[in-house]
Amino acid sequence: MNKHEKDSLRKYDSIAQSYDTSLDGKFTAQFKLKMLELCPLSDGDTVLDVGCGNGRLINSLKQKNLIKAYGIDISSQMINECRERYRNIDFQVSNGERLPFNDNSFDTVIICCVLHHLNNPQGFFLEAHRVLKTGGTLIVGEPCFPAIARLFTDWIISPLLKAGDNKLFSHQRLKRFFVENGFSITQIHKKGVIQIVSGLKI
C-alpha cells in the first residue's frame, strides 16, 4: 500500500460516520446529483460504484431503477457504514485499480471524485473496461480546475492536507483516458468545477 492509499484510508476512516456533513461530503454532493441525473439505467442493470463512500450515490441509483447494485471502497469504515445503511446492496473493501469482479459483469461502472486519489488511473480504466459488458457505460466525475489551480493543488494543497489526493486532471486528459482505453465518449458535462464524462465500451 503506497502513501496515497494510507492517507486515503486514514482520512476516510475518520469521517465515515459524518461524511455527508464533512467538507468532502458537501463538495462531492453536487457531483453525485448531476451523475444521478445523467446516468442512463434500465431495470435489471448491474451497476458498480467505485469509491462508493457511504453508499449514498449507488443507493440513489437503486431507488431510480430496479438495478443490481454493488459498491467498493478502500475504507473499511466507509463499507461498514454502507452495510449498516443499505442492506440490499453488495459492498466490498477494495481499491479502484484491481476490481474484484469477473470480466463482462456490469452494465454500468461509475466513479465520482475518486480518480484523482488513484496511484494508477490508467489501471482503473483498464479494469473498468474489463468488468464492463460490451456496450456498457463508464461514467467518471472529477473536479475541473484551471491549469494554475491544478498545479497549486497538486504540489502544495494536497501534500498539506494528506487526504490521499494524487493528481487532478484537465478536461482534455480525462477525455483521453476514455479514448486510449477502449471507450467511445457519448456524453460530456462541464460546468464550473464539475466535469462528468461518459463512454461506451467498444
The per-residue pLDDT for range 137-146, each reduced to its tens digit, is 999 999 998 8
Task: Parse the chain into domains and list their residue ranges.
Answer: 46-138+146-201
Distance from C-alpha of 71 to C-alpha of 50, rounded to nearest angstrom: 6
3-state SS class at 121: helix
Predicted structure pTM score: 0.94
Residue 178 has pLDDT above 80, yes or no: yes
Eight-class DSSP state of 192: T
Residue 2 has pLDDT above 90, yes or no: no
**CATH class of the domain comprising 46-138+146-201:** alpha beta
Task: For cell 476514455, name the residue.
Answer: 178
